[in-house]
Structure 1
């Protein structure tokens, strides 16, 4: 079987439709369709099911896709290995990280990695979108969630602990909520997902409670949320790393400490596709960041989902 034909099948299924595959391969849609038809005729079986918007693999098509992806990854790894001979580690790593965690926790890790590997290009996006995390142009995503998607490799980067907190001045002037239900009426400072009702899940022992929130300040920018908390504008519900230094200095105090609070999830995960070739630069980056998280006491780097063909 022609390796180029297998590669074409991989590109079509990765793209999701013939038009997008044609764009990536710099071919016409008719040419892509012709070569796909030729491959199906040579095998004598249908490999993909076509709809108006997408193509989906048949059982035989999926098996051939997996073989084609393995061959493609092996070829890419061989090319990279040869190109790196006698050179410093090079490449490009494109990643998407949460705005708060990325700026307040990961920034120093990213800078340390860049100093160690100056010839690797880091392309970093700070964003909090939950859907469509691993778009084709993103190698790695870091996200807070309760359970990672089943179709990705998820590496544990540690638990996320939310705190209910306020400035020392605010607490002295207004008091702090001492019961969960008091969060309903407190002037809250927190983040939210557009189009969703904001709820905080609270765990105590084996019990789980949920409180509907109506914040007075909402933002995806955690540096702004921190400033609003320090300014005494209300009670913040944010991950502990947002106000960690302020707590240490006594400028911020917490309440409801017996409860384990969560808004978007309880774990931080590093996510990447199991069937996408990880360059040497990307795999080096993954292990470096997981090691940094482990040293900081934030994670073990263990694999918790997916199967990898790195």
Structure 2
């Protein structure tokens, strides 16, 4: 059985079409099509049907896919075993992370990882949305969402903590909100929300209250949101990692610090595809990120 043909077949099914498999394997589409045709010829069975959306498995194709995926997985394990004695991990990892969290928090982590494992190639995409991990060539994704997609393996890294803050200038010029009721009448700048409205939770001493409001300004560009808060046009409601350094310097002051805030039940998730071979490099990277996230949670709890 041709291992290359099986690998191509698995890539086509995982990616959804021949073009994606060709990009993932750095082959021409014609070459990919040729190998699939040869595989079907050797098995004397139709495995894929072409559709306007891409390809779909036949009944026989589904059975062959299950076996092919296992064979490709075992072959990858064998390659890892052969290289296990090498001092340096190698491979390529595609990472997708939210723009703000990726730049402000993960950047130093990724530099540290690269210094520790120089043989691993990192392809980093800082973006807030992604449609399909396999199709987009992503091995590991960090996402902020209330619920991860059902088709991925997801590690819940905990809730995203939001902080209310205002510039020192705004605080000197305006009266800071003293309670949640006053907050409803305050111009709020935020990074979250759906359809122009934000559903915020405020928790204190085990009691949680939900507030829905329309922000005066909303953007998923954290540098822009931070500039708007610092300019004094309203009170900011953003993840704590965005503004923590500015709070420490006194440029920003915290508002209603006795509450813990959240938006739309958002949690931070580390995600990857199920039933897809994870190389030693990918496993090492996932464990590295998980450890870093754990340290980040410890820092939050300590209030540092």
- Tell me, yes or no, whether TM beats 0.5: yes
Per-residue deviation, residues 267-290 of structure 1 (Å, max 9, x unmatched): 111111123222222211110111
In the aligned structure 1, how far is the partner of 2:9 from the partner of 2:71?
12
Residues 145 and 268 of structure 1 are in contact (CA less than 8 Å); yes or no, is this contact kept in structure 2?
yes
- Equivalence for 1:175: 175
Change (3 A) 1:142 1:34: same
- Equivalence for 1:305: none
Per-residue deviation, residues 77-104 of structure 1 (Å, max 9, x unmatched): 3224324543422222221111221222
- Equivalence for 1:200: 199
TM superposition score normalised by structure 1: 0.79
| Superposition RMSD in Å | 3.2
Per-residue deviation, residues 112-144 of structure 1 (Å, max 9, x unmatched): 222222232222222212544554322211111
In the aligned structure 1, how far is the partner of 2:247 from the partner of 2:176?
15
Say yes or no: does 1:41 pair with 2:40. no
Change (3 A) 1:96 1:22: closer
Offset of residue 147 of structure 1: 1.0
- Equivalence for 1:78: 78
In the aligned structure 1, how far is the partner of 2:153 from the partner of 2:245?
32
In the aligned structure 2, how far is the partner of 1:90 from the partner of 1:19?
26
Moved over 6 A (4+): none
Change (3 A) 1:59 1:244: farther
Change (3 A) 1:256 1:178: farther
TM superposition score normalised by structure 2: 0.80
Match of 1:26 among 21, 28, 37: 28
Equivalenced residues, count: 293
In the aligned structure 1, how far is the partner of 2:2 from the partner of 2:35?
15
Gaps of 5+ in 1: 300-310
Residues 159 and 298 of structure 1 are in contact (CA less than 8 Å); yes or no, is this contact kept in structure 2?
no
Alignment of 1:55-134 (within 5 A): 55-83=55-83, 85-132=85-132
**SS, match of residue 137 in structure 1:** coil
**SS, match of residue 220 in structure 1:** coil
Residue range with higher mean Cα deviation, 164-173 or 241-250: 241-250
In the aligned structure 1, how far is the partner of 2:33 from the partner of 2:5?
15
